Chains A and B, each alone.
Chain A
């Protein structure tokens, strides 16, 4: 069964450094998402992406964040200058098309900012 994959599984970085989190969505899916979960809290929406542009973003998704689909398979989340409060699990998800609602989640990347 096709699945969403994410790399790395764990990333440790120093405050102020840039990080790129990578995701490979399911190949025939058109809609892509990033979600975040701070330790012990709910999973919360960050951004949605369709047709090579952002469809919607939450208020968390400020100028320090960006997303990109650099080729036909990868979907990346970049944090330009990490803060301590960016430490969280980051989940990528994809959805097949406009008429389907199910989102398929990757296993997540644990980001630790020191």
Chain B
């Protein structure tokens, strides 16, 4: 079955708005990471968050491992936040990452 699921698939925001992206993961996955893929295709590491909450500027993430989900919060969104946000988890039987399909965020000025 699908190991990492993300929602929503697409999100359109007005500049300055806040948003929440969700990642659900199966029992076979843990040690979540969040990435931002910018419009040039580059993948940027955002958070390694197996559990708990972390914050970096306007972004924060929370993982509730016992309930198998993680949330990425974007506050006061800016046009530079546009792109695709991926979550990925480590497969328990090996160390490779299994990626979700991503959430495409478009922030309009």
Contacts and interface: CB of A to CB of B under 8 A. Distances in A.
B31 interface: yes
Query: Interface size class for chain B?
Result: 20 to 34
Interface in B11-48: 30-31, 33, 35, 41-45, 48
Interface residues of A, number: 24
A101 B102 CA distance: 21
A110 B90 contact: no
Could you tell me the dominant secondary structure of chain B's interface residues?
strand
B37 to A, nearest CB: 8
Interface of B: 30-31, 33, 35, 41-45, 48, 50, 86, 88, 90, 94-102
Interface of A: 31, 33, 35, 37, 42-45, 48, 55-56, 89, 91, 93, 95, 101-108, 110
